[in-house]
Amino acid sequence: MLSLSEVCKSYQEPDGSRLPILDVPELSVAAGEQVVLRGRSGCGKTTLLNCIAGLTSVDSGRIEIKGHDVVKLPEAARDRFRAKFIGFVFQTFNLLPAFSALENVLLGMTFTDQRADPQRAAELLKMVGLSHRLTHKPRALSVGEQQRVAVARALANKPVLLLADEPTANVDPAHQQQIIDLLRDACRQEGVAMLLVTHADEVANQFERIEYLEQVNRAAGVA
Ligand SMILES: Nc1ncnc2c1ncn2[C@@H]1O[C@H](COP(=O)(O)OP(=O)(O)O)[C@@H](O)[C@H]1O
Ligand SMILES: [Mg+2]
């Protein structure tokens, strides 16, 4: 379902030279599979997720999702592809402060051809345990509740792949497990594959498959 081959990403340094960040010969995730991505700070985890999501362009290589090479898509088509097939949960939630929980989930739907579906948005918020908070804006929600809204938003378009970048790093320890359970159950229920970055052993150890980016990424030793 997701398949990377020979993906390279570098940044230009002020002196004009290139700083290699990613050099990934191969990485695949099957449909519905749940994979943890680990690695020390700065080894390229966020960059890798951003490249897979098409939020950052790569220098070369193939990133195939559902048989489409997202690297080859022009920017506008890539944005539509991302909206349709990929859900993203950020470390800092990225909810829009002026909008309610329900509206934030609905806004996750508006970039695709299908119409926003308030009933599905409400069902997703029910699934994350927030039926009683539909009209609350982010500042009136606890941190754990905000991340639960973000999980609902990431699933709004029934993606095939959910990318989660340290989704519990800013959630208090008492609610971390709840977010992880929620992500795993929701992805299982909806048949969504998941690639999740975490630093926490207790989170990573719950997954059958753990990939260490230092092993996957030949540039990790260089950067
Ligand atoms: N826009 C950028 N320009 C130059 N270097 C960058 C940029 N974004 C990230 N980097 C560098 O890329 C490396 C990987 O960053 P990142 O993917 O955020 O790592 P991780 O998420 O594993 O901590 C870091 O060394 C970082 O300094
Ligand atoms: Mg990161």
Neighbouring-strand partners of residue 2: 29, 65
Question: Tokens for 121?
Answer: 């948005």
Q: Is 37 in the pocket of ligand 1 (CB under 6 A)?
A: no
Phi, psi of 46 (to 5 degrees): -65, -40
pLDDT given for residue 223 in this prediction: 44
Ligand 1 geometric centre to CA of 138 (Å): 28
Residue having the nearest C-alpha atom to atom 27 of ligand 1: 42
Distance from residue 22's CA to the centre of ligand 1 (Å): 10
Please tell me the residue having the least CA distance from ligand 1 atom 20. Answer: 42
Mean pLDDT of all residues in the chain? 93
Ligand nearest, relative to CA of residue 50: 1
Residue type, 164: A
- Radius of gyration of the chain from its Cα atoms, rounded to whole angstroms: 17
- The Cα 65–Cα 81 span in angstroms is 10
Structure tokens at 20: 């290699």
Predicted model pTM: 0.94
| Of the candidates 145, 141, 154, the residue with the CA atom closest to the CA atom of residue 183 | 154
Those residues whose C-beta lies under 8 Å from the C-beta of residue 171, and which sit 6 or more positions away, are: 143, 144, 147, 179
- CB 101 near ligand 1, within 6 Å: no
Taking only the tens place, the pLDDT of each residue in 87-143 is 999 999 999 999 999 999 999 887 666 778 999 999 999 989 999 999 999 999 999
135-173 residue pLDDT tens: 999 999 999 999 999 999 999 988 999 999 999 998 888
Query: CA-to-CA distance for 170 and 74, rounded, in angstroms?
Result: 34
Local structure of 164: helix, strand or coil: strand
Indicate whether residue 50 lines ligand 1 (CB < 6 A): no
Domains and CATH numbers, the chain: 30-57+74-207 (3.40.50.300)
List CB contacts of 196: < 8 A, sequence separation 6 or more. Answer: 34, 35, 36, 37, 163, 164, 167, 183, 203, 207
- pLDDT, tens digit (0-9, with 9 covering 90-100), for 203-216: 999 999 999 999 99
